[in-house]
């Protein structure tokens, strides 16, 4: 049992070293080739170190919360440490957290779609209302007058008269 505990401690130490090296390469390794120590380089270095420490805090939190992630680091060693150093927060989340985030995103997308549908219905109603306003009673009266005028334009053509002076003709529309 002591040998097993020592193995686990050794694996954890190796995984921690691998992760630390990967983090340092990714966020903390500062190359100062020309030894120029002006203020801009110092500020750049401070920003890099802030990113490094922020990433260390993020990883520490996620490794404590996510047993699966912790196990994968212990089993994967150096290679997984390099992968873990650049993983996003979403990738480090537990399965439950990932499912919860997917649900939130899905509900958000459904809300957007529902809002778009409602907006389209409102736009359609506005167009119909505008169309009805453009067909105002004055326009209806004018259109009715034009239709009546057209319908009342009938011509009578006299073809001939008979001996009794009765008109024979036909009404043409």
Give, in order, the Cα–Cα distances in Å from 83 to each of 74, 90, 95, 122, 144: 13, 14, 18, 50, 79
So what's the pLDDT on residue 173? 45
**Segment 112-153, tens digit of pLDDT:** 999 999 999 898 888 888 888 776 556 566 666 666 666 555
Domain positions in the chain are 2-93
So what's the pLDDT on residue 151? 58
Q: DSSP letter string over 96-150?
A: HHHHHHHHHHHHHHHHHHHHHHHHHHHHHHHHHHHHHHHS-HHHHHHHHHHHHHH
Q: Is the dihedral of CA 11, 14, 20, 24 positive or negative?
A: negative
So what's the pLDDT on residue 11? 81
- Quote the mean pLDDT of the chain: 77
So what's the pLDDT on residue 139? 59
So what's the pLDDT on residue 137? 56
First to last CA, the chain: 113
Q: What gap in Å lies between CA 100 and CA 33, rounded to an integer? A: 47
Are 86 and 26 in contact by the 8 Å Cβ rule? The answer is yes
Q: Name beta bridge partners: 155.
A: 172
**Segment 16-59, tens digit of pLDDT:** 888 888 888 887 765 555 555 677 778 777 888 888 888 889 99
Phi, psi dihedral angles at 167 (to 5 degrees): -80, 135
172 confidence band (pLDDT: 50, 70, 90): very low
So what's the pLDDT on residue 142? 67
So what's the pLDDT on residue 109? 94
């Amino acid at each position: 049992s002591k040998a097993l505990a020592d193995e686990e401690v050794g694996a954890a130490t190796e995984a921690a070293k691998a992760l630390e090296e990967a983090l340092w390469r990714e966020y903390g390794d500062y190359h100062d080739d020309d030894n120029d120590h002006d203020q801009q380089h110092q500020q750049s270095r401070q920003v890099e170190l802030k990113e490094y420490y922020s990433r260390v805090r993020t990883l520490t939190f996620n490794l404590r919360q996510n047993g699966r992630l912790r196990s994968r680091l212990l089993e994967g060693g150096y290679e997984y440490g390099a992968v873990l150093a650049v993983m996003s927060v979403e990738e480090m989340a537990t399965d439950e957290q990932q499912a919860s985030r997917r649900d939130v995103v899905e509900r958000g997308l459904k809300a957007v779609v529902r809002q778009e549908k409602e907006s389209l219905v409102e736009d359609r109603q506005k167009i119909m209302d505008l169309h009805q306003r453009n067909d105002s009673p004055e326009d209806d009266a004018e259109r009715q007058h034009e239709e009546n005028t057209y319908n009342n334009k009938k011509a009578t053509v006299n073809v001939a008269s008979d001996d009794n002076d009765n008109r024979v003709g036909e009404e043409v529309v």
